[in-house]
């Protein structure tokens, strides 16, 4: 519980609506301060303001009820209070009224006799039944005792931020419990997307000639291995086209056959002593020369065919067929229909995009943990949700970069939906195989100021404090916290910006609200 003196504005506002302020006296006498109590169950949040209780004196209890299913104001049902004497006896029940406005209920009645009580607020609605056990409360014998007891209550800290229930219900607001749980150890490091080794290919002109194509592919088109992209028609004047080389082979074959016929005739005549032996030697020499010329012509033709195959080409009549050597997307197209190109001119660049390489700049101290990575997420600027990746092969050269002083760690990953773009940068979250049991909060609760993470902790229904935290690990939707919060506390997950504005306003919006 905490105490706060109600401002004069609250008195005026309550007077307009006809509701008595919780701390207002029922008869002549001193005005009592207001006590606030906050409690949570699995179904609802209770924030209640009331004056210190004086035996027999009528008190107004301002009850605020929030549904935790969606953090909206309750609009149905009615509450009642039960006072059970600690010394034993029947409970005293004070019945409440239906809501005077969304979320705001009123319970009014005379306090029971002086003493210590266990008290509770029970709410019954058509779709909800809930009970808040509020612990022990003291009913004082007279006002001086009540004032003395109020002065002993803990006072609100100067750092407390006041943010009222009404804007919480209307502006969008939610909190979550800090729970101790097991989270994976993780490392955050800058990362860049690259093509896989062998996942990039350049198709160049295998010979000088003119480019032709039925339909020239465009930048970004997907191509498959073996697909014909275009053709190169060699320059006929160079004498190196396939038709000329094939003719040379045929001519050499004819010359060799003629030489062999002449050699056989000379050898037969020599056997009949019709020609001298020199005639046979000349025929054999001519056969050898014709055979050598045939092998040379065949070698030139075979070299021409091999040239077509290197650089992505296969023989197709008297032209080179430029063929995609890998499956991927066209990252560059520099070919123009009808243009003439020299041998070796790059015409197409193909990049594989279904699988990519992620290069992560890991600090040397984290290298051992990073090498045992079990899971990866890539946070991309401007993208709300990180991309979940599955590392297939993790490797590094074991050499720290002299400029960045980090170890470039490479990993082969599948590109889900091809969401990752070659050359794209982001922050990689590398998850280790170990787990730590620490308090954890939803990642939406963590804000940053000058590089320092912090959260807003709800210490009362309308009271918050900002806490800087030390992050132990990030695991998907959870952030493990080494220090700053404890299990059982509640942190703001939605509406933190409005709480921040309330803090900047110095509590001006917290002057009071209508009950």
According to CATH, the topology of domain 242-317 is Helix Hairpins (1.10.287)
The pair of three-digit structure tokens given for residue 238, joined into one six-digit string: 């160079």
- Asked if residues 396 and 412 have their Cβ atoms less than 8 Å apart, the reply is no
Report how far residue 285's alpha carbon sits from residue 280's, in angstroms, rounded to the nearest whole number.
9
Instruction: Render pLDDT for 227-247 as a digit per residue (tens, 0 to 9).
Output: 999 998 876 544 566 778 888
- Tell me the residue length of the chain: 515
Report how far residue 508's alpha carbon sits from residue 495's, in angstroms, rounded to the nearest whole number.
18
According to CATH, the topology of domain 2-159 is Immunoglobulin-like (2.60.40)
Per-residue pLDDT of the chain (515 residues), as tens digits, is 443 333 333 333 333 333 444 554 444 445 678 899 999 999 999 999 999 999 999 999 999 999 999 999 999 999 999 999 999 889 999 999 999 999 999 999 999 999 999 999 999 999 999 999 999 999 999 999 988 887 776 666 667 899 999 999 999 999 999 999 998 888 889 999 999 998 999 999 988 888 998 889 999 999 999 999 999 887 654 456 677 888 888 999 999 999 999 989 888 888 888 878 888 888 888 898 889 888 888 877 876 676 555 444 444 456 788 999 999 999 999 999 989 999 899 999 999 999 999 999 999 988 888 888 888 999 898 887 889 998 888 999 999 999 989 999 999 999 998 999 999 999 999 988 888 899 999 999 999 988 899 999 999 999 999 999 998 888 888 999 999 999 999 999 999 999 999 888 764 444 445 45
- Cα–Cα–Cα angle for 458, 464, 465, rounded to 5 degrees: 110
The pair of three-digit structure tokens given for residue 492, joined into one six-digit string: 């703001």
Query: In this structure, how many other beta carbons lie within 10 angstroms of the beta carbon of residue 323?
Result: 20
Hey, what long-range contacts does 468-473 have (CB within 8 A, 24 or more apart)? Answer: 471/446, 472/183, 472/436, 472/438, 473/183, 473/184, 473/185, 473/186, 473/436, 473/438
Distances (CA, A) of 246 to 249, 258, 457: 5, 19, 86
Report how far residue 220's alpha carbon sits from residue 218's, in angstroms, rounded to the nearest whole number.
6
Domain 176-192+355-494 has CATH 1.20.120.160: no
Report how far residue 300's alpha carbon sits from residue 245's, in angstroms, rounded to the nearest whole number.
7
Q: Which among 242, 300, 289 is positioned nearest to 263, based on CA atoms?
A: 289
Q: What is the 3-state secondary structure (H, E, C) of 192-221?
A: EEEECCCCEEEEECCCCEEEECCCCCCCCC
Q: Where in the chain is the domain with CATH 2.40.30.170?
A: 176-192+355-494
Longest dimension (CA), the chain: 160
- Burial of residue 109, with CB atoms counted within 10 A of its CB: 0-12 exposed, 13-18 middle, 19 or more buried: middle
- Asked if residues 46 and 57 have their Cβ atoms less than 8 Å apart, the reply is no
Within 8 A by CB and 6+ apart from 382, the residues are: none
Q: Give the three-state DSSP class for 455.
A: strand
Report how far residue 450's alpha carbon sits from residue 441's, in angstroms, rounded to the nearest whole number.
20
Instruction: Render pLDDT for 145-155 as a digit per residue (tens, 0 to 9).
Output: 988 887 776 66
Q: Which among 56, 141, 45, 61 is positioned nearest to 95, based on CA atoms?
A: 61
Q: Where in the chain is the domain with CATH 1.10.287?
A: 242-317
Q: Where in the chain is the domain with CATH 2.60.40.1930?
A: 2-159
Report how far residue 226's alpha carbon sits from residue 457's, in angstroms, rounded to the nearest whole number.
61
11 φ, ψ to 5°? -60, -45
Which stretches does DSSP call E strand in 237-307?
none
């Amino acid at each position: 519980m905490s105490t706060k003196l109600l401002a004069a504005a609250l008195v005026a506002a309550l007077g307009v609506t006809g509701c008595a302020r919780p701390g207002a006296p029922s008869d002549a006498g001193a005005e009592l301060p207001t006590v606030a109590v906050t409690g949570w169950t699995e179904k609802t949040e209770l924030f209640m303001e009331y004056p210190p209780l004086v035996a027999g004196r009528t008190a107004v209890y301002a009850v605020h009820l929030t549904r935790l299913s969606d953090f909206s104001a309750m609009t149905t049902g009615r509450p009642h209070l039960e006072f059970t004497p600690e010394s034993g006896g029947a409970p005293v029940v004070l019945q409440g009224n239906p809501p005077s406005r969304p979320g705001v209920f009123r319970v009014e009645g005379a306090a029971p006799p002086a003493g210590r009580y266990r008290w509770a607020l029970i709410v019954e609605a058509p779709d909800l039944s809930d009970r808040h056990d509020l612990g022990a409360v003291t009913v004082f014998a007279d006002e001086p005792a009540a004032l003395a007891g109020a002065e002993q209550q803990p006072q609100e800290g100067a750092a407390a931020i006041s943010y009222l229930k009404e804007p919480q219900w209307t502006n969008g607001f939610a909190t979550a419990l800090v729970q101790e749980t097991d989270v994976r150890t993780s490392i955050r490091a800058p990362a860049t997307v690259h093509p896989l080794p062998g996942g990039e290919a350049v198709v160049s002109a295998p010979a000088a000639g003119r480019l032709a194509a039925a339909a020239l592919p465009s930048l970004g088109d997907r191509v498959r291995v073996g697909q014909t992209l275009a053709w190169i028609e060699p320059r006929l004047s160079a004498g190196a086209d396939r038709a000329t080389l094939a003719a040379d082979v045929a001519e050499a074959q004819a010359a060799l056959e003629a030489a062999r016929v002449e050699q056989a005739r000379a050898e037969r005549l020599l056997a009949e002593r019709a020609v001298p032996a020199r005639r046979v030697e000349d025929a054999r020499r001519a056969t050898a020369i014709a055979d050598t010329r045939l092998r040379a012509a065949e070698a030139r033709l075979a070299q021409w065919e091999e040239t077509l195959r290197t650089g992505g080409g296969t023989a197709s009549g008297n032209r080179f067929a430029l063929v995609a050597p890998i499956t991927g997307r066209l990252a560059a197209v520099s070919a123009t229909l009808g243009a003439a190109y020299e041998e070796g001119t790059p015409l197409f660049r193909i990049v594989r995009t279904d699988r990519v390489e992620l290069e992560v700049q890991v600090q040397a101290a984290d290298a051992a943990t990073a090498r045992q990575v079990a899971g990866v997420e890539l946070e991309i600027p401007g993208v709300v949700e990180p991309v979940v990746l599955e590392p297939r092969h993790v490797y590094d050269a074991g050499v720290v970069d002299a400029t960045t002083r980090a170890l470039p760690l490479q990993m082969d990953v599948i590109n889900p939906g091809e969401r990752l773009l070659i050359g794209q940068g982001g922050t990689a979250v590398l998850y280790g195989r170990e787990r730590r049991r620490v308090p954890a909060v939803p990642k939406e609760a963590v804000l940053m100021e000058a590089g320092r993470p912090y959260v807003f902790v709800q210490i009362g229904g309308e009271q918050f404090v900002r806490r800087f935290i030390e992050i132990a690990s990030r695991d998907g939707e959870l952030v493990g916290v080494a220090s700053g919060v404890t299990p059982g506390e509640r942190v703001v997950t939605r509406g933190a910006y409005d709480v921040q504005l309330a803090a900047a306003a110095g509590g001006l919006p917290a002057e009071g609200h209508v009950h």
